């Protein structure tokens, strides 16, 4: 999750900028200060000092949330030994974080108590696991105080509520309370998912979070289903709401939920396994395998094998695959930009071949870091296949002289055009580097952020 933590800081910077004029100082030293003393039982007071500092100004809230929900809570949910058989280290982690929780519970800082409220209440529930009566009592407190509209997404109470629901389900005497949890959580998730929201960076994260929790819940319910038909229907819902390409491009929205709950990133394989064990389900099985391969082309080869075995149509697999991509891809907005060599690039003139688009900036660290791989990909994959694929990289928020200097300094030769400051919006870019594939028929799809993009492109395009 190291990369995700870095991304949280970058995303947090977006909101920090809105308060830049009235914020007393950068919050990053406070975030890093906490990390310096984190899990040092003798330095709990020092760590808590920096936590209070993060709660001292509204502009710091996103970093405060990140620290509490994605560092402290994950350490509590999954204590991890620093080295093999380090049971003492695990006990130290638990003791340190319990001390932090105790200080948070006694604190009166308004922002800190608001952000931490669901975590503090969740921790009380988890500490009561050994006492069924106390577990039920604390779970009722969480249900009324934390599992509310105010906290459900803003302070990730949905995440903690789901964990509590799973814990309650292990005790038959608490089944009515578990059912109440399920109904509340499911209703809140469905309420959000039922109404499409305008696209934006933050809404994309929110969508991914709600979809992942909804899929996780239904996968769990499938395990409880008494009848095979019910199980299949619940697994189908879990499959449907498993991260799609849009969600995979916004893993910030649900990446920590994966680690917090049980480590499962998707629930598609469970549904596929159930289908393949049933007679007369070949068409549905094929549809599921296509969907899985479109999201992650590591499933393309199993799809090819299944297609060749079943022979559902006289089409070749290549034709079948291309049509499947085009059905799922979106229309491409006009991309007409002038490259550094003063030649005009227009994607409409390239029908019949794949086009790989990469948006970057000289100011973008992750972009610069991957440019040696991009240059290698250009030399070994793009140039040897001029009839199949071409490339355009687009430098965004940059000056021409800076881009030219950068390319010369690093001896990069991949084609570059300067952004017209419109293409980012046209392609709904939510972060950098941003990558897209334009199909031979002119549609486009997003290459998920964080994916092995070289492998993704090669498998998608049969190169």
Segment 386-390 shows an average pLDDT of 95
Q: pLDDT digit string (tens) for 304-359?
A: 999 999 888 889 999 999 999 999 999 999 999 999 999 999 998 898 999 999 99
Q: Can you give the pLDDT at residue 40?
A: 83
Half-sphere exposure of 36 (CA within 13 A, CB side): 11
Please, what is the Cα angle at 77 between 74 and 80, to 5 degrees? 80
Asked whether the beta carbons of 13 and 40 are under 8 A apart, the reply is no
**Residue 353 maps to a domain:** yes
CA 402 vs. chain centroid, Å, equals 32
In this structure, what are the phi and psi dihedrals at residue 420, rounded to the nearest 5 degrees?
Answer: -90, 10
**Residue 76 maps to a domain:** yes
List the CATH number of the domain containing 354: 3.40.30.10
> Do 308 and 408 belong together in one domain?
no
**Residue 267 maps to a domain:** no
> Do 319 and 340 belong together in one domain?
no
DSSP secondary structure, 299-344, as one string: GHHHHHHHHHHH--SSS-HHHHHHHHHHHHSEEPPP-EEEBTTSPE
> Do 379 and 424 belong together in one domain?
yes
> Do 84 and 232 belong together in one domain?
yes
Segment 214-239 shows an average pLDDT of 96
Domain end marker among 188, 215, 242: 242
- Which residues 6+ apart lie within 8 Å of 179 measured at CB? none
> Do 448 and 401 belong together in one domain?
yes
Q: Can you give the pLDDT at residue 86?
A: 63
> Do 194 and 121 belong together in one domain?
yes
> Do 192 and 220 belong together in one domain?
yes
How many domains is the chain built from?
Answer: 3
Q: Is the pLDDT of residue 19 over 80?
A: no
> Do 314 and 355 belong together in one domain?
no
- Please, which pLDDT band fits residue 81 given cuts at 50, 70 and 90? low
Residue with tokens 């039982």: 41
Of 41-50, 82-91, 203-212, give the lowest mean pLDDT range: 82-91
**Residue 322 maps to a domain:** yes
DSSP secondary structure, 107-154, as one string: ---HHHHHHHHHHHHHHHHHHTTT-HHHHHHHHHHHHHHTSSHHHHTT
Q: pTM of the full predicted structure? A: 0.85
Q: pLDDT digit string (tens) for 154-200?
A: 999 999 999 999 999 999 999 999 999 999 999 999 999 998 777 78
Q: Can you give the pLDDT at residue 449?
A: 84
> Do 86 and 15 belong together in one domain?
yes
Q: Is the pLDDT of residue 228 over 60?
A: yes
**Residue 249 maps to a domain:** no
Q: Can you give the pLDDT at residue 285?
A: 95
Segment 208-222 shows an average pLDDT of 97
- Please, which pLDDT band fits residue 248 given cuts at 50, 70 and 90? confident
**Residue 271 maps to a domain:** no
Asked whether the beta carbons of 152 and 190 are under 8 A apart, the reply is no
> Do 321 and 343 belong together in one domain?
no
Q: pLDDT digit string (tens) for 264-275?
A: 999 999 999 999
List the CATH number of the domain containing 22: 1.25.40
Give the number of other CB atoms < 10 A from CB of residue 310.
Answer: 12
- Please, which pLDDT band fits residue 277 given cuts at 50, 70 and 90? confident
- Please, which pLDDT band fits residue 201 given cuts at 50, 70 and 90? confident
- Which residues 6+ apart lie within 8 Å of 113 measured at CB? 104, 107
> Do 12 and 157 belong together in one domain?
yes
Nearest CA among 175, 73, 184, 66 for reference residue 123: 73
> Do 78 and 178 belong together in one domain?
yes
Domain that holds residue 285: 279-328
**Residue 268 maps to a domain:** no
Q: Can you give the pLDDT at residue 161?
A: 97
Of 72-86, 218-232, 402-416, give the lowest mean pLDDT range: 72-86
**Residue 121 maps to a domain:** yes
Domain end marker among 267, 301, 328: 328
Domain end marker among 186, 217, 242: 242
């Amino acid at each position: 999750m190291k990369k995700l933590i870095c991304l949280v800081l970058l995303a947090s910077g977006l909101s920090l900028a809105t308060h830049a004029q009235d914020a007393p100082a950068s919050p990053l030293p406070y975030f890093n200060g906490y990390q310096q003393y984190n899990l040092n039982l003798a330095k709990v007071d020092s760590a808590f000092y920096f936590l209070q500092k993060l709660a001292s100004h509204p502009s710091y809230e996103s970093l405060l949330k990140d620290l509490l929900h994605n560092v402290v809570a994950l350490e509590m949910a999954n204590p991890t030994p620093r080295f093999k058989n380090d049971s003492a280290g695990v006990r130290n982690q638990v003791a340190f974080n319990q001390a932090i929780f105790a200080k948070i519970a006694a604190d009166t800082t308004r922002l800190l108590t608001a952000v931490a409220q669901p975590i503090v209440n969740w921790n009380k529930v988890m500490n009561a696991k050994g006492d069924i009566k106390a577990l039920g009592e604390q779970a009722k407190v969480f249900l009324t105080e934390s599992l509310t509209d105010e906290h459900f997404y803003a302070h990730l109470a949905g995440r903690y509520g789901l964990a509590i629901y799973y814990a309650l389900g292990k005790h038959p005497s608490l089944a009515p309370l578990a059912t109440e949890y399920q109904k509340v959580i499911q209703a809140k998730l469905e309420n959000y998912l039922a109404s499409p929201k305008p696209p934006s960076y933050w809404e994309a994260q929110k969508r991914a979070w709600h979809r992942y929790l909804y899929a996780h819940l239904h996968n769990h319910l499938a395990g409880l289903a008494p009848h095979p038909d019910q199980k299949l229907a619940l697994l189908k819902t879990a499959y449907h709401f498993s991260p799609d390409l849009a969600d995979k491009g916004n893993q910030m929205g649900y990446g920590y939920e994966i680690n917090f709950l049980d480590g499962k990133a998707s629930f598609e394989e469970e549904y596929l396994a159930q289908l393949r064990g049933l007679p007369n389900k070949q068409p549905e099985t094929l549809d599921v395998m296509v969907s899985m391969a479109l999201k992650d082309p590591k499933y393309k080869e199993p799809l090819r094998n299944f297609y060749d075995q079943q022979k559902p149509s006289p089409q070749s697999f290549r034709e079948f695959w291309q049509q499947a991509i085009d059905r799922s891809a979106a229309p491409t907005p006009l991309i007409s930009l002038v490259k550094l060599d003063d030649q005009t690039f227009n994607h409409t003139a390239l029908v019949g071949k794949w086009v790989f688009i990469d948006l970057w900036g000289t100011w973008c660290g992750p972009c610069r870091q991957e440019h040696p791989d991009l240059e290698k990909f250009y030399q070994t994959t793009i140039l040897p296949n001029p009839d199949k694929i071409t490339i355009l990289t687009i430098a965004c928020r940059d000056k021409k002289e800076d881009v030219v200097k950068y390319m010369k300094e690093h001896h990069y030769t991949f084609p570059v055009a300067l952004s017209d400051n419109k293409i980012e919006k046209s392609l709904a870019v939510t972060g950098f580097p941003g990558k897209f594939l334009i199909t031979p028929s002119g549609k486009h799809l997003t290459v998920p952020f964080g994916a092995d993009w070289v492998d993704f492109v090669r498998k998608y395009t049969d190169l």
